[in-house]
Amino acid sequence: MSVLYEMVKNLLARPFTILYPSEKVPIPAAFRGRVAINDDTCIGCSKCSLVCSVQCISMADSPKEIEFKGKKVQRKKKPRLNLFRCIRCGLCERHCPTGAIHLKNELSESGTDRDMVVT
């Protein structure tokens, strides 16, 4: 009886559960977690804002001089992302020409502010 055999085997073995908080779930490298915007490489092209599926990215004024493909570009705006409305689909990361906006593989933890932004 395969069920009985497996039951007894499980009784004597370690449970499959990951015993948080002493053990943690291993997070793969490709995990879509926290959103981060790199201030030094963003050129303000607004592509992320246009592509965002839920329209949670707005562009805010932020002038800075950025080096892009060997030339000096004067950036006028920078994205402001509403973390609560973001669904972590990764379209902004896919269409960003410089890789300034990207999703890190850290867990984006919980917060209490609905209007939290990443900028």
Partner 1 sequence: MTDPLLTILYILVFPGFVFLLMYSLFFEFLDRRITARMQNRVGPPFFQPCADVVKMLGKEVIDPDGVDRRIFDAAPLVALAAVMTAFLCIPVGGNSIVRFQGDLILVLYLLTIPTIVLFLLGWLSRNVFSAIGGIRAVTQLFIYEVPFFLVMLAPALMAGTWSVSEIAHWQQENAWFLLLQPIGFVVALVCLQAKLERTPFDIPEAETEIVAGPWTELTGRRLALMHLAKDASLVTGSALIAALYLGGPMTPWVILPVWLGWAAGFFLFLVKTLAILLVLSSIKVATGRIRIDQLNAIGWKYITGAALVQIALVLVMNFWQVGI
Partner 2 sequence: MANVIVPIGPHHPALKEPVNFRIVADGERIVRLELDLSYNHRGIEKAAEQRDFIRVLPLLERVCGICSHSHSTVFVKGIEEIMELEIPPRARFIRTIIAELERMHSHLLWLGVAAHEVGFNTLFMWTWRDREAVQDTLEEMSGNRVHYGMNEVGGIRRDLTPSEVNAALARLPHLEERIREYAKMVNDQETLLIRFKGVGKLSRDEALAYGAVGPTARASGVDYDIRRDDPYLAYTVVPWNVVTDTSGDVYGRTRVRIGELQESIKIVRHCLENLPEGPIRVNAPKTAPKGEILSRYEAPRGELAHFIRTNGTDKVERVDIRTPTLANWTSVALCLVNQNLADIPVIVAAIDPCLSCTSRITVVNPKDRTTGIVTFDELRKQSHLRASMQERR
Q: Which of 90, 98, 117, 118 binds partner 2 (CB under 8 A)?
A: 90
70 binds, among partner 1, partner 2, none (CB under 5 to 8 A by kind): none
Strand partners, 64: 75
Closer by beta carbon to partner 1, 16 or else 61: 16
The yes or no reply on residue 20 touching partner 1 (CB under 8 A) is no
Q: Which residues contact 96 (CB under 8 A, 6 or more apart)?
A: 47, 48, 102
* AA identity, residue 60: A
Taking the C-alpha atoms of residue 41 and residue 89, their distance in angstroms, rounded to an integer, is 21
Q: Report the C-alpha dihedral over residues 45, 48, 54, 57, rounded to 10 degrees.
A: -60
Residues 29-48 that bind partner 2 (CB under 8 A): 29-32
Q: Which of 91, 98, 108, 117 binds partner 2 (CB under 8 A)?
A: 91
The yes or no reply on residue 104 touching partner 2 (CB under 8 A) is no
Structure tokens at 76: 């006028």
Q: Which residue has the tokens 């919980």?
A: 110
Binding site for partner 2 (CB under 8 A): 1-3, 6-7, 16, 28-32, 51-54, 87-91, 94-95, 103
